[in-house]
Amino acid sequence: MGNFVVDADGNTMLDMYCHIASLPIGYNHPMMEEASRSQQWHRHLLQRPALGSMPSSDFPAQLESTMQEIAPKGLAQVQMTCGCGSSANENAYKAVFMRYQHRARGGNPPSAEELSSCMLNEAPGSPHLSILSFEGGFHGRTFGCLSTTRSKAIHKLDIPALPWPVAPFPKLRYPLEKYEAENRAEEERCLKAVEHIIANNPIQVAGVVVEPVLAEGGDKHASPAFFRKLREITARAGVAMIVDEVQTGVGATGSFWAHEQWDLPTPPDIVTFSKKMQASGYFYQDEFRPDQPFRIYNTWMGDPLRLLQAKTIVDVIKRDKLVENTKITGAFVLEGLQEIAARRPELVSNVRGSGTFIAFDAKTPADRDAILSAARNLGVNLGGCGTQSIRLRPSLTFAPKHANIFLDTMEKVITEYKM
């Protein structure tokens, strides 16, 4: 109930990992239970429509009232896909390539040669194009997404990969105020690498994909200035910018979309979502709309039931001011962790985060795993990422009263922990 979960052995735990950042308003929320009893929900429980060919008559209005209400600034179009972040990113990549080739053809229909050669997986119908991603990034486990995923080797092992380029992502030093000059130089180094790859990569770069925080890679951050310059680079080169908000989206970072905090000169071209939204898809600029039907398509094309869930989630977020709550609670948690890090830097370091999207580092991978285990045995469920990072991914209803439980537990862990 709420922020607490009971395990198979009957132990009650404060859940701060929340199904890998995908539990938006806690367990068994009263408004969600009430909504689930409606006839509208019941109808979609009995049969799931193939929305691409047989949508219900109220689906367009339902889609507009839910998704357009929360659309990122400048992105008027939304594509619902399937049920996970990988499918959102996979289809976003396809939209990028379609837009790129549509431009290359000057808006003309594909040629007979393109139509026949693509059936043989050959150019020009299957063009030599790529998506640039960053070291430490994670964008999914489906085939195309795996070629842009640069963390967790076990997911990529034994799978043929597309020869797509990778750029360095800034390795910031903490505390930020102490290393401002060094971090600025590090970000400039990475941006120059991006420019060089776009200009010189043997396979033309059609898009760049980036997470606001490289979560699976160890919760790696960059400054808003870094992302502003990245947007300028992509716009200047005519390369699409995809912001992967699968894990950061829907309020966890202190704004509904994490990229809203960057003050970009122009909006991203595409923003993907899943997890806390319960539905999966992407928002996009008009020019990325396919020029023919069925080009981005699957049987389900989303799930009306998940869209109804998303509507309730958004209503609760607005009613209870949960985005503001993540700012308040996040600041409280950061202050508590920084105080712990000041006393026990050999155990807790590099405290960082935005909203309640927070992480810190242990000294070694073994220390990280021991801290996770100790916290769980004391009733707090946390998650790991990268090689030695611990990440917090609580629901949006996680409040200072819950944060006190977490910080008290951390005090017990570091007091009893033996190096």
Whole-angstrom distance, CA of residue 276 vs CA of residue 270:
18
Which residue spans within 7-157 are E strands per DSSP? 12-15, 77-80, 129-134
Q: Which of 244, 269, 361, 367 is catalytic?
A: 244
192 and 105 housed in the same domain: yes
Whole-angstrom distance, CA of residue 137 vs CA of residue 243:
12
Structural domain span for residue 150: 49-302
Alpha helices in 163-222 (DSSP H): 180-200
pTM: predicted TM-score of the whole model, two decimal places? 0.96
Q: Which of 138, 256, 283, 406 is catalytic?
A: 138
Side chain identity at residue 170, one-letter code? P
Tally of domains in the chain: 2
Q: Examine residue 15 and state whether it is found in any structural domain, yes or no.
A: yes
Q: Examine residue 82 and state whether it is found in any structural domain, yes or no.
A: yes
Q: Which of 15, 97, 253, 275 is catalytic?
A: 275
Cα-atom radius of gyration of the chain, to the nearest Å? 22
Q: Examine residue 307 and state whether it is found in any structural domain, yes or no.
A: no
Known catalytic membership, residue 299: yes
227 and 366 housed in the same domain: no
Q: What share of the chain is helix, strand, coil (3-state, %, to 5)?
A: 45, 15, 40
Known catalytic membership, residue 152: no
Known catalytic membership, residue 178: no
Q: Among 267, 302, 337, identify where a domain stops.
A: 302
CA distances from 110 to 39, 113, 116 (A): 46, 8, 10
57 and 176 housed in the same domain: yes
Q: pLDDT tens digits for the chain (419 residues)? A: 999 999 999 999 999 999 999 999 999 999 999 999 999 899 888 988 899 889 889 888 888 889 988 999 999 999 987 679 999 999 999 999 999 999 999 999 999 999 999 999 999 999 999 999 999 999 999 999 999 999 989 999 999 999 999 999 999 999 999 999 999 999 999 999 999 999 999 999 999 999 999 999 999 999 999 999 999 999 999 999 999 999 999 999 999 999 999 999 999 999 999 999 999 999 999 999 998 889 999 999 988 999 999 999 999 999 999 999 999 999 999 999 999 999 999 999 999 999 999 999 999 999 999 999 999 999 999 999 999 999 999 999 999 999 999 999 999 999 887 65
Instruction: Give me the CATH number covering residue 364.
Output: 3.90.1150.10
Q: Which of 12, 73, 266, 299 is catalytic?
A: 299
Known catalytic membership, residue 138: yes
18 and 126 housed in the same domain: no
